[in-house]
Chains A and B, each alone.
Chain A
Amino acid sequence: MAKKLGLIVNPIAGMGGRVGLKGTDGEETLKKALMLGAKKEAPDKAKKALKYIRENIDEIEILTYPSDMGQNECIELGLNHKVIGEIHYEMTTYKDTEEAAKRMMENDVDLILFAGGDGTARNICSIIGDKIPVIGIPAGVKIHSAVFATNPLNAGRIVEEFFKNPNMELRESEVMDIDEDEFRKGRVAAKLYGYMKVPYQRAYVQSLKSGGIYSDEISLEGIADYVIENMEKDCFYLIGAGTTTRKILERLKLPYTLLGIDIVKDKKLVLNDANEKDILRIVDSNKFKIIVSPIGGQGYIFGRGNQQLSPAVIKACGKDNVIVISTPGKIASLKSKPLLVDTGDDEADEMLKGYYRVIVGYDEIYVYKCS
């Protein structure tokens, strides 16, 4: 039976970029982009990936959405497809993307190929989470998420590999987007919104290039076990967001918050999903350490996805009590670029700079710079 590919094109993605806007999210921005003469770019990018698919995959069933959300692109390329939903206005919104993702899930697609930016990734993630593998065609203004191929052609190649290689590895990858709260305060910072499963092929997936023959899963277990064995008595551990840190809670058989901060003391859970106030109240004058992992494939250890670890918390903790953990693959993906911090507080940022003993496996340490 032919495998099913779900195709979602966010036709308005990327329109803000060429006309100098920071994105195309929201009706007002879209209107502004149109007034400034912006043109749809995502459909063309999607077609590049689809053309590759047409030429390289024989048996594939494409399920897509009407008009420029996939249907037109398929028709233009002569690709067999089935339209599984409807849109009510020519100018689509995030609701259409979400509805499309929902329909794809109901129709049991094997993989979703989408064209868009961080906003599109976030909308899809809010519906499917890690239930269906996805791969993004980078077509938006903002591409902070690690769920995109490096270019449309490579997105096509990943789809080909996914359908031809039943053993292709799937990796949970970060979905990042502008932090709207911070944005309203006049600060542009990305926030971690979730994780989606992405078929992993070395060098094709943006910002998550790694290598070697070692399984990240084995490294993850080693890292978690090493951290747990070295936990000090009576010390609070603030465990940051992400899949690397999650493994610690899993190995301790404790509930975890993927996108939040969990507090552990003496290998027992103190609080899930703690906010800044909780943290300050609980740690008070007690000894505590922070465990973080580089996020977003870009090397941020503070200021992306863990704003609960505020400058006040960080300053109370001190650099020496920050434990950085990472799989070797994630470190390799940084291509020797330093780890980054962006807490919004210059003093805290300055304090966090320097070298860290990053735990990359059981009793395995990389010394890595943060700036």
Chain B
Amino acid sequence: MVKMGKIKLRNFHQARWDEPIIFELSTPGQRGILIPEVDDEIVNKVGKAEEIIPENIKRKELPKLPELSQPQVLRHFLRLSQETLGQDINIDIGLGTCTMKYSPKIHEQFVRNPKFSELHPLQDEETTQGILEIMYKTAELLKEISGMDAFVFQAGGGAQAVFSNASILKAYHTDRGEGDKRTEIITTAFSHPVNAAAPHTKGFKVITLMPDEETGYPSIEALKSVVSDRTAGLFITNPEDTGIFNVHIKEMVDIVHEAGGLCIGDIADANGLFGIVRAKEMGYDMCHYNLHKAFSSPHGSMGPCCGAQGVKKFLEKYLPVPVVAFDGEKYYLDYDRPHSIGKVRMFYGVVAAVLRAYSWIVSLGADGLKEVSELSILNNNYLMKRLLTEVRGISAPYSKERFRMEQVRYSWEKLKEETGVGTEDVERRCMDYGLQEFYQSHPPYLVPEPFTPEPNETFSKDEIDEYAEIMKKVSQEAYENPELVETAPHNGPISLIPQPPITDPEDLIVTWRVYKKKKGID
């Protein structure tokens, strides 16, 4: 923390409740709520509940749920909450590639307002004009931000958006009579791995370009060596996971276009790009944004996700249904789209994320969005400068001496080499200073002992300084007393758990039912 202008590491200790799992707290007969009897008037009208439910879906016996009173439940979950380090309590810089930015609380008020939260997706469109208007207008804003011509919010996350884009790619080539011929997609090793996984699930053969030793991104020659009339498309993340912007992106896109392929940009994390470079100018035909990342909607265990999928005009007809449309008078859900790839998710998509994203965009405006990216890049390069010049044992492979965009993939390889303390140890030790785990790397692990922080625009300089000081301290501890770091955490709710037993699939138990079975508990 910064106290009276000076940085001071916290004397942190987390609560340790040794809390059992809720099934172990169960006492037969305890109850949290009493469900009132149904009024006679209702029973007379619709019949008894147990008679309405079809016989074949009726339970044969009561569900084996834990039995607790309300205060017991409350205490149980409050204790557990004290054993976590959530986004609102710690300096969540470490979870790079996730853009853990502050999600304005007023947006939570919007989505928790009954006017929104009690909407039902099967309501008549006449009665949901408000949310349809917000969806339509958010699409308009994203069109401006990206340069694409149409957006939908069907996908429930980035991976589904990439899959949906891969489906459009397939439909496009099939319509042109080349569906059977164009079977290969190209991606890069530092693109998000879903750029390989989702098209592969769609049936494409995946070719991954490995990074050049110096720059960290693939060479033009590497791309040229594999582009052919079998190429369906290029799925690429730029800046890549290393935080390095591929300056040859336009040239790469042109090569793929020339060969008849399309280009699909993964802009899951747009935080370094707002107002600086657009999908259109990079030459993409399709792209997606994660509204739950750069657009501030909370994610992970804090909320559901939304992959906003954008395409150019010539691909609009393939978008998944429904598309929110406006006829000049009213907004409506357009299902009448014969070329559509179909539905990828039920109902409207995750509209709470859309509402939050809309609020975020309009509250910032165009200038504000650009400032978000400028601040993110500045914060990131400030942290990089501090880590690389002040912390022993850390390095940033590739593109030495160049600035990075919104994040950096560092390596603790030298620290491991010299002290035996690796990235997992550092990660656990950080918990002793009040930080939650950091993100190491997406696969493949090309950077040894990786570490990928992302100090986005919502962190202050003081917080970035505190974060850097913690890294410096942990590195110093590794050189002076490696055992202290290797056996961390010491101040957390749990101690070091040896990895082999808990990662062995044979011993892994993920449900209470399996636990009871394995332990022979009735």
Contacts and interface: CB of A to CB of B under 8 A. Distances in A.
| Most-contacted residue by chain A among B219, B446, B449 (CB, 10 A) | B446
B327 interface: no
B222 A335 contact: no
A78 B413 CA distance: 33
Contacts of A213: 443
B439 to A, nearest CB: 14
A167 B503 CA distance: 11
Would you call the interface of chain A mostly helix, strand, loop, or mixed? loop
B236 interface: no
A320 to B, nearest CB: 11
A211 B226 contact: no
Nearest to B442: A212
B218 interface: yes
A331 interface: yes
Interface stretch (A28-36, A106-114, A147-155): A147-155
A214 interface: yes
B420 A214 contact: no
A354 B213 CA distance: 14
Interface string A331-347: 11001111000000000
A154 B419 CA distance: 9
B116 interface: no
Interface string B404-425: 0000000001001100101000
Nearest to A168: B500
B417 A203 contact: yes
A210 B445 contact: yes
Size bin of chain B's contact surface? 20 to 34
Nearest to A213: B443
Contact of A367 (B226, B398, B450): B226
A357 interface: yes
Contacts of B189: 366
A363 interface: yes
A95 interface: no
A81 interface: no
A332 B445 contact: yes
Interface string B169-208: 0000000000000000000010000000000000001111
The residue in B205, B211, B225, B397 that gathers the most chain A C-beta atoms within 10 A of its C-beta is B225
Contacts, number: 87
A153 B441 CA distance: 27
Given A336-B398, A337-B213, A153 B420 contact: yes
Contact of A336 (B226, B446, B449): B446
Contacts of A210: 445
A209 B422 CA distance: 13
A337 B397 CA distance: 12
A203 B413 contact: yes
A367 B445 contact: no
Interface in A202-222: 202-204, 209-214
Nearest to B209: A367
A212 B221 CA distance: 28
A319 B416 CA distance: 39
Given A209-B448, A211-B445, 19 more contacts: A154-B417, A154-B420, A203-B413, A203-B417, A203-B448, A204-B416, A209-B413, A213-B443, A214-B443, A328-B444, A335-B448, A355-B221, A355-B222, A357-B226, A365-B205, A367-B208, A367-B209, A369-B210, A369-B219
29 contacts: A154-B417, A202-B422, A203-B413, A203-B422, A203-B448, A209-B448, A211-B444, A212-B443, A212-B444, A213-B443, A328-B444, A332-B445, A332-B448, A335-B213, A335-B446, A336-B210, A336-B212, A336-B397, A336-B398, A337-B213, A338-B213, A354-B225, A355-B225, A363-B206, A364-B208, A365-B208, A367-B218, A367-B222, A367-B225
Interface of B: 189, 205-213, 216, 218-219, 221-222, 225-226, 397-398, 413, 416-417, 420, 422, 441, 443-446, 448-450, 500, 504
